[in-house]
Amino acid sequence: MSEITYLQATSDALREELRRDEKVFLLGEDMGVYGGCFGVTRGFLDEFGEERIIDTPISEGGFTGMAVGAALAGYRPVVEYMFSDFVTCAMDLITNQAAKARFMLGGQVSVPLVIRTPAGSGTGAAAQHSQSLEAWFCHVPGLKVVMPSTPYDVKGLLKSSIRENNAVIFYEHKLLYSTKGEVPEEEYLVPIGKGNIMRKGKDVTIISYSLTALKALKAADLLEKDGIDAEVLDLRTVSPLDKELIIASAKKTGRVLVTHESVEKFGVGAEVASIINDSEAFFYLDRPVRRFGGEDIPIPYSPQLEAQVVPQADTIYEKVKELLK
């Protein structure tokens, strides 16, 4: 094991897959000389050349269409959007082409496409560069949506996503890039669709993913001081969801809070709550499942307001205390 940053783990995953499979190539704005908006692909152009590290014009719709076509032709493109908000410029290519081509052509083709993009708030980038839009893509059959929270998971899941034969939306929260964690030096994969219990507990389950999963861990530390033993479940993949793990944890503790940064209404938390309520876990609940997501407003520019409109460790702690009353 070596301790590296989330950014380095992401970079290592891409580099290893480029070396392993000549069909893998990267494309996006400032991918080459600049090394990516957040520096993930720094040095890649020198190693792999401009035919595999492609700097594109500022046209998400254009280069996403190029990637979909390349995937249909047998390549494994990895697209990077500078900010996840820019996915709106390529929605038709993702939701009507990449997501549906395999089904509409009776399985005769695959679309092994990965769309990587930094998501989330916390950098003062305001309403058009700070959104969490994962629930949109969870609602589209044919897409897989991955949101890892640790360096270990981001490397293992990104490698699995590149080898996946269906389109994957791969979210990397901007504030996670500087976080550190232990990552094996040998090759490994983390399976898509499998969650992880980050902390075992018996009194209440906190279900989350991405940056909010780390906030949930901090909230669990605060709860421990009050004598409350919280279990923290990291979904890692939000489509498909790990239903077995969700149900098992809900049955174990009987009290569940689902929390995420994206807007609460119509969000992933609602689907998780529905999974629990529609299963045998419902009969083990001591309280109704509670949701805690982002406020129903655009992300403000002001750092103070920005922090107030999405869950934080202290507000997750407060929500759990309310749940246990």
Which helix (H) or strand (E) segment holds residue 255: the answer is none
For CA atoms 62, 68, 72, 75, give the dihedral sign: positive
Specify whether the CB–CB gap between 322 and 289 falls below 8 A.
Answer: no
Residues annotated as catalytic are 129
Q: Which residues have C-beta within 8 Å of that of residue 51, sequence separation ≥ 6?
A: 25
Nearest CA-CA partner of 269 in 135, 167, 162 = 135
Relative orientation angle of helices 243-253 and 268-277, to the nearest 10 degrees:
70
Beta bridge partners of 233: 197, 207
Q: How far, in Å, CA of 307 to CA of 155, rounded?
A: 28
Closest to 156 in 3D by CA, of 17, 3, 2: 17
Query: What's the burial of 185, exposed, middle or buried (CB within 10 Å: 0-12/13-18/19+)?
Result: exposed
